[in-house]
Structure 1
Amino acid sequence: MSRVVLVHGIGQQYKGEETLLADWYPALADGMALASDVRLPREDVSMAFYGDLFRPAGHRGLGIPELDASDVSDDMERDLLIQWWTYAAEIDPRVPGPDAPARLRTPYLVQRALDALSHSAFFAGLSERFLIWSARQVRVYFTDAEVRSAVQRRMERGVTARTEVIVAHSLGSVVAYEALCAHPEWQELSFVTLGSPLGIRNLTFDRLTPRPVDGRGHWPEPVKRWINVADRGDVVPVVKRLADRFGDGIEDVSIHNGARAHDVTRYLTARETGRRIAETLTPDP
């Protein structure tokens, strides 16, 4: 029965609710403390955890399955990798874009995208298989009806009559958005999206449920206030202004997270984020 429900993004298949909260809750508390006098007890915060639903079935080796460019046969996975690559090239002058001449040893577009991303400032140090696995989780959510329904059930269980704000990161913002749209009967609450890919046309935006109409996404009925926080250097939220997609009622906030632009703890410790989350909570009597 928490006041704040947190929703994680991709890459959490080997963790759990308590593991994630061990990182998220202190960051949330620090961000709020920097910007306000509001103190949020740990028992008032919960995590809508669904990462295990993406945990692969038994396979040889540990961790993420062995994947390379030849495993990217799905159009959505390819398009997402190229979208990340295109934006990474725009913000990082060291990254050659898709229009740059290809070296003979990397003739295939997906392989070029993986090479460029793995050497970009944003994805530095991440393996090609991690990049592919990340794109695959996004694709699975949108194309596997059973997984999508199971994720939504986890989200629904986390929201109660006491919930005042949902704070969702990355793909979690898509999960939370669809749940909010599906439950107009939920009481009014605030919605905070961090590093959200909700606005990317032809990838996430056009696959949402409910479908956008005439280029405009549906406003979730329970949401009385929507705050969208994005770092310009974050490659995942290619579209930084969600107000252009969902309406002027969204408050788009720009922050700077340093080198780890998509890191949720950087988002949560930002003064700008902490102040707005604090504002959404009912003052203690």
Structure 2
Amino acid sequence: MTRIVLVHGIAQELKGSETLLADWYPALNDGLALTSSMQVARHEVAMVFYGDIFRPAGHRGLGVPPLEASDVEDGLESELLLQWWESASELESRVTGPSSAVRLRTPHRVQRALDALSHSSFFAGLSERLMISSARQFRRYFAEPELRADIQGRLAQHITDETEVIIAHSLGTVAAYEALCANPGWRDLTLVTLGSPLSIRNLVFERLIPGPTNGHARWPAPVKSWTNVADRGDVVALTKELSPLFGERVRDRLIHNGAKAHDVRPYLTSAETGRAIAEALSNGSASARDPSR
């Protein structure tokens, strides 16, 4: 019985569903323990894994393919890196801002962005290759229809009549939102989004399917409750609140994750996330006991 479906985010291509669950599952129960006596069994949780889609084919060398600033494509890739740079500079005084790089040609601006981000606490320890690869995964999701459909199809395979909660992180929140909109027959689900980029204007929001109307996104029909949790220092979740664009029914919650602002584990262990999940599971159990609900 799958009560909870998990959807991971970017930069997970070298892992797998069981590897990710080893991190997510205990953190999920830790968050629940903060606000309730409820715990979920391992067999009640399923991980939607799609990281292998982004795993590059065999090549010489080890790790991430050799990517550098000149490989960053104009458009979504470069603009996303520049947005991350601007956000990081606003959050950390030691990160030089992009204002002095406005007149530089794109490759030089991207290199400046990568250099600055490498000194931020958010991207500390990440190579340029990994930062570029992360931005590329965002671009590929929106630019490659078959890849987009494949990811959403994998999510759909895990949804059953017993599913009560979808918990999505990072790019996974985009896939979850679009899959929910595309499947109005799924009913009475709770959506919990963590570190979501859904409200990033001009880069993500306008690229959603279905597209926004008059500056507002469609509410996903199967969703009865939606809680969005964002860390103030999460650079990937550039816009922390979703309710202005997705409707007042979204409950936005700001939290503090410490140094690893975008890491899914502190998101899951927060009381705000635990409370949203506990409420959904409690309501679902009550509905199961009372068929009239």
TM class by shorter chain equals: over 0.9
Distance in 2, matches of 1:169 and 1:85, equals 21
**Aligned-pair distance for 1:235?**
0.3
CA-to-aligned-CA distance 1:11-47 (integer Å, 9 cap, x gap): 1111111110011000001110111111111110000
What is residue 161 of structure 1 aligned with on the other side?
Answer: 161
Q: Is the 8 A contact 2:70 2:107 kept in 1?
A: no
- Residue 113 of structure 1 aligns with an amino acid whose one-letter code is A
**Superposition pairs of residues 1-285 of structure 1, within 5 angstroms:** 1-100=1-100, 108-281=108-281, 282-283=284-285
- Residue 87 of structure 1 aligns with an amino acid whose one-letter code is S
- Residue 94 of structure 1 aligns with an amino acid whose one-letter code is R
**Normalization by structure 1: what TM-score?**
0.96
Q: Is the 8 A contact 2:101 2:109 kept in 1?
A: no
Distance in 2, matches of 1:230 and 1:143, equals 26
- Residue 245 of structure 1 aligns with an amino acid whose one-letter code is L
CA-to-aligned-CA distance 1:233-279 (integer Å, 9 cap, x gap): 00011110100110100000011000000000010011111111111
Distance in 2, matches of 1:243 and 1:129, equals 34
Distance in 2, matches of 1:62 and 1:10, equals 19
Distance in 1, matches of 2:232 and 2:146, equals 34
CA-to-aligned-CA distance 1:154-211 (integer Å, 9 cap, x gap): 0110111110010000000001000000000111110000000000011111100000
Distance in 2, matches of 1:43 and 1:125, equals 35
Distance in 1, matches of 2:35 and 2:107, equals 50
Q: Is the 8 A contact 2:192 2:226 kept in 1?
A: yes
Distance in 1, matches of 2:262 and 2:73, equals 26
Distance in 1, matches of 2:170 and 2:259, equals 17
- Residue 18 of structure 1 aligns with an amino acid whose one-letter code is E
**Aligned-pair distance for 1:73?**
2.4
Are residues 157 and 202 of structure 1, via their aligned partners in 2, closer, same or farther at CA, if it must alter by over 3 Å? same
Secondary structure of the structure 2 residue equivalent to 1:5: strand
Distance in 1, matches of 2:225 and 2:257, equals 24
- Residue 260 of structure 1 aligns with an amino acid whose one-letter code is K
What is the total number of aligned residue pairs between the two structures?
Answer: 283
**Aligned-pair distance for 1:74?**
3.0
Distance in 2, matches of 1:134 and 1:62, equals 17
**Aligned-pair distance for 1:100?**
3.3
Q: How much is the aligned-residue C-alpha RMSD, in angstroms?
A: 1.5
CA-to-aligned-CA distance 1:77-98 (integer Å, 9 cap, x gap): 0000001001111111111111
Structure 2: 5+ residue stretches without partners: none
Secondary structure of the structure 2 residue equivalent to 1:190: strand
Secondary structure of the structure 1 residue equivalent to 2:100: coil
Secondary structure of the structure 2 residue equivalent to 1:116: helix
CA-to-aligned-CA distance 1:38-83 (integer Å, 9 cap, x gap): 1111110000111101111111112210111010123110000001
Secondary structure of the structure 1 residue equivalent to 2:142: helix
Secondary structure of the structure 2 residue equivalent to 1:180: helix
**Normalization by structure 2: what TM-score?**
0.94
Secondary structure of the structure 2 residue equivalent to 1:163: coil
Distance in 1, matches of 2:244 and 2:108, equals 34
- Structure 1 residues 253-262 or 32-41, which shifts more? 32-41
Secondary structure of the structure 2 residue equivalent to 1:108: helix
Structure 1: 5+ residue stretches without partners: none
Distance in 1, matches of 2:7 and 2:226, equals 15
- Residue 267 of structure 1 aligns with an amino acid whose one-letter code is Y
- Residue 174 of structure 1 aligns with an amino acid whose one-letter code is V
Large movers: runs of 4+ above 6 Å: none
